[in-house]
Every structure is written in structure tokens, then in C-alpha cells.
Amino acid sequence: MSEPSPAVDEPTVLESFQQNGFSRRTFLKFCAATASLLALPAAEAAVLAENLATKPRPTVIYLSFQECTGCLESLTRSFSPTLEHLIFNVVSLAYNDTLQAAAGESAEAAREDAMRKAWGKYVLVVDGAIPRPLDGAYCVVGGKSALASLQHVAEGAAAVIAVGTCAAFGGLPLANPNPTGAVAVQDLVRDKPVINLSGCPPIPEIITGSVVYLLSFGVPELDEHRRPKVFFGNTIHDRCYRRPFYDKGLFATSFDDEGARNGWCLYELGCKGPTTYNSCATMKWNGGTSFPIESGHGCLGCSEPGFWDRGDFYHPLSTGRWGSGMGEKLAVAAVAGAVLGGAAAVAGRQRQKARNDASTQHPDHPEAK
Ligand code: SF4
Ligand code: SF4
């Protein structure tokens, strides 16, 4: 790809920090925190700081289509880098119809102006799916269909970032019966890099971290679904703190049983962690406070294609009531995990039964008589 580049006369990221009253030390702390988020080795962390100190801020245009604004809500809660640092210091945000002060024709004119100045060099960020039938008539913003807007703005972009499962894979709008004929960004943009940051919503630091990485190094290494491997290289299950209970066959079997109270594995309650690639178990949410499994609910698999239509959220993977989504095959490791999960669950039930039997045979138990 051509590197995302600045509009004319944009300051470097370091200059932008300084213009906004931040010291060089704050800039370096920002770089260190971002490098840590991206798990960069020391040498690349130094390159990141060097690039951000010398490269001017690139222009970013952010379009929202068929979505719930949850992805942007998530982005506003990024702790490191914060959204403020991102939009005031790291990028030049030329258009976002929720965050920008301008409205109506002046907003559209500002977008066209930014596109003209940075043609071929700006980054396009998209959240939401795009309906295709009737020339895109099911989603119209500012008198222009989402379909036409995407095609128009993508034409001059260096790269496109699809934020959230709706933009990445069609998400909820595409769910059966897909009444508006919604498709994902990658179904329409085929002549330039598309980076998918899936999740419903995505973890905010994944959005900000990916933007910074793209600006500094270009397109990161992607998985088969075009997701950055640094954030989507492991399953939730690979890094889940409840994994030791899974390995011992200790499972909660209802949301208020002894297993649930003890914090045992949620596999039997339908957790899709073994087949879901995301960073929730390590990065967590709200600045690393917690994530769904830590709050007692299994993973729903929201960062995988077709998660809404795959099957039953509350039955274990081993029951086969969770399909492979939009035709793609589950990764071998995931299938193996599900099979192992089934075996572990059976072993766990046997152990639980043995414990129950032992307890009912105890001389003090009423049924032991
Ligand atoms: S099945 Fe779910 S709760 Fe259990 S260890 Fe795996 S990810 Fe964690
Ligand atoms: S734990 Fe699973 S369902 Fe929940 S946000 Fe993470 S990937 Fe999505």
C-alpha cells in the first residue's frame, strides 16, 4: 500500500503534542504505552517513537453506516492511547458525523476538502455494514447512500480500517434474514488494504493501537479474516484465567450453582471462548478492569464472522449447536478445543457425580441411611 500520509502542512505527532501543551516526556510515555500495547520488541518501540516524532499526522476520515454507535462509544473509552490523544495529537480527524462540531453541508464540504488535499494518502475508518440492494437506499446519510459514500471515499484512501463486526463481517445487519442485503466493507473494497477490527464492539485500545501501528509501520500482519494477529492471534480460551478449572474438568452448570460461585469454567454454560479470537482475556475492558467471563458470563463469540446466526449461545460447543457461521471452517485448534472441552466436561461431570455420591454416602447425609 502507499503509506498513510499527511495532508499538506500537518505537524508531526510530536509537534502536535507540544502545540497542545504536552511535553516531549509525555510524548515518549505515550509511545512507550502504545509499544507495550502492541507488544513491540524494544527495537521496534524505538522506531515507533522515531516515526511518530518525524512523520506528520495523517488525515483520517471516519464514516458510520448500519451500526448502533457502540463501536464509537467503545472508542471514546480507550485508556491508552486515549481518544483525545488520538484525535488531537496523532491523527487529523477530518470527518466523523458524531464527534465533529460541524454539521450539514459544511461538514460534507470539509470532508471533500480533506480528501482532495490528501488524495491517495488518507486512512478511511468505517463502522457499520452497508446495504447493497436498491442502490443502497436502506442507509442514506446526508442525501447519499452508504454504498455510494463508501465507494466515493474509499477511492482516494491508502487503507481502510473496518471497525466492529458489522463493518468487518456484516454483523447484526447481515444476520438472518438480512432484510437490507447488508454486506461487509471487504465485500465492496477490493483494491486496497482492508484491516478488520472485529468485536461487538471492538476493544477500544485495539482500535487506537491499530491506527497508531498503521501510521507508524503500515499494515500489520493479519490473520485469515484480515485481523491484526497481535490482537487476534489467540483465542479467549488460550488466555482465560478460568482455564485451570477447564483443564481440571471443573465447570459451572448453572449461573447460580456452586461452580459459578467458585468461579469455575463457563464452558458448560455455552462459553464460546475456545473458538473466538480476541484479546478480551488479556487486555480486558474499561482500562483493564474486567471482561465478560470475569463477570460470570461466557463469551458469545462476538468477534467471529456470523456469530449471531451460528447457533445457541447457551449450549456447550461440544453439543454441536454452534455452527461454523458463514461457511468458513473453524480453525483446527478451535475444533480440537471444542472436542477437548466436551471430553473435559464429561470428565468433570463424572468427577462432580463422584463428589455428590461421596457426599450422599457420608454418614451425616440424610440419603445415606
Ligand atoms: S471455556 Fe470459556 S470460561 Fe472456560 S476456560 Fe475457556 S474461555 Fe474461559
Ligand atoms: S468475551 Fe467474547 S463475546 Fe465478550 S466481548 Fe470478548 S469476544 Fe466478544
Q: What is the CATH number of the domain that holds 68?
A: 3.40.50.700
- Atom of ligand 2 minimally distant from the CA of 300: 3
Indicate if 222 and 337 belong to the same structural domain.
Answer: no
Q: Is the CB of 270 under 6 A from ligand 1?
A: no
Q: Report how many domains make up the chain.
A: 2
Residue type, 45: A
Mutate to test the pocket of ligand 2, among 232, 284, 291 (most ligand atoms within 8 A of CB): 291
Report residues whose beta carbon is within 6 angstroms of any ligand 2 atom.
Answer: 199, 236, 276, 278, 280, 291-292, 299-303
Domain annotation covers residue 1: no
- Quote the domain boundaries for residue 75: 13-232
Closest-CA residue, ligand 2 atom 1, reads: 299
**Each residue's pLDDT expressed in tens, for the chain with a length of 369 residues:** 545 555 457 889 899 999 989 999 999 998 999 999 999 998 889 999 999 999 888 899 999 999 999 999 998 888 877 888 888 888 889 898 888 888 889 899 999 999 999 999 999 999 999 999 999 999 999 899 999 999 999 999 999 999 999 999 999 999 999 999 999 999 999 999 999 999 999 999 999 999 999 988 999 999 999 999 999 999 999 999 999 999 999 999 999 999 999 999 999 999 999 999 999 999 999 989 999 999 999 999 999 999 999 999 999 999 988 886 543 433 344 444 445 555 555 555 554 444 434 333 433 333 333
Between the alpha carbon of residue 268 and those of residues 106, 225, 272, 330, 347, the distances in Å are 54, 28, 10, 19, 12
Structural contact between residues 92 and 123, judged by C-beta atoms closer than 8 angstroms: no
- What is the DSSP annotation of 167-210? HHH-HHHHSTT-TT-EE-GGGT--SS-EEEE-SSS--HHHHHHH
Domain-located, residue 8? no
pTM score, whole prediction: 0.86
Rg of the chain, C-alpha, whole Å: 23
Cβ of residue 200 lying under 6 Å from some atom of ligand 1: no
The residue whose C-alpha atom lies closest to atom 4 belonging to ligand 2 is 299
- Phi, psi angle pair for 167, to nearest 5°: -70, -35
Ligand nearest to the Cα of 298, by number: 1
Dmax of the chain from CA atoms? 88
Same domain, 207 and 252: no
In a domain, 2, yes or no: no
Q: What angle do CA 263, 266, 269 make, to 5 degrees?
A: 130
- Structural domain includes residue 189: yes
Q: Residue 178 to residues 129, 174, 308: CA-CA distances in angstroms?
A: 11, 5, 12
Q: Which of 289, 288, 284 is nearest to 299 (CA)?
A: 284
Cα separation of 77 and 114, whole Å? 26
CA of 233 to the centre of ligand 2 (A): 15
User: How much distance in Å is there from the Cα of 143 to the middle of ligand 1?
Assistant: 46
CA separation, residue 42 to residues 31, 35, 45, 147 (Å):
12, 8, 5, 42
Separation of CA 284 and ligand 2 centre (Å): 10
Pairing mode of beta strands 140-141, 157-163: unpaired
Residue where one domain finishes, among candidates 232, 265, 285 = 232
Q: Which ligand has the minimum distance to the alpha carbon of residue 201?
A: 2
CATH code of 324's domain:
4.10.480.10
